[in-house]
Amino acid sequence: MEQQRLATEKRQREAQRAEELKRLEVEREKIATEKERGAEERKALEAARTAEIERLMALQKKCTEERARRLLAKQQVTAASPQATVTFSPSVLPPPPTILRLT
């Protein structure tokens, strides 16, 4: 009778240990999955950050090139017509208004 009780208790302890090991294994798998998901999210964020930096650099290059083209065009216009400044030829302007003095 005593041996039967001890054998039953032993089986119960072994079952509890097996259950605990199974629970720990499930927890390890869950942690590994979370780590993997975190690593994938970091990779995705890094890829998005890299793509955004590349897009901004391309936009900056495009703006710099456009600015250079405009500066060159302005220089060409200025070189082609030195009188393209704000001054006007007197023949283009109407005569100044006459001021009448009342005395």
Q: What six digits make up the tokens of 18? A: 């097996």
Asked whether residue 96 is domain-assigned, the answer is no
> Into how many domains does the chain fold?
1
Asked whether residue 1 is domain-assigned, the answer is yes
The pTM of this model reads 0.52
Asked whether residue 99 is domain-assigned, the answer is no
Alpha carbon distance 51, 44 (integer Å): 10
Asked whether residue 42 is domain-assigned, the answer is yes
* Lowest mean per-residue pLDDT among 3-7, 73-77, 81-85: 81-85
Q: What is the per-residue pLDDT for 100?
A: 64
Asked whether residue 28 is domain-assigned, the answer is yes
**pLDDT tens readout for residues 5-57:** 899 999 999 999 999 999 999 999 999 999 999 999 999 999 999 999 999 99
Note down the domain range covering 66. Answer: 1-78
Alpha carbon distance 45, 1 (integer Å): 66
Alpha carbon distance 59, 52 (integer Å): 10
Asked whether residue 66 is domain-assigned, the answer is yes
83 pLDDT band (50/70/90 cuts)?
low
Q: What is the per-residue pLDDT for 79?
A: 83
Asked whether residue 98 is domain-assigned, the answer is no
Asked whether residue 63 is domain-assigned, the answer is yes
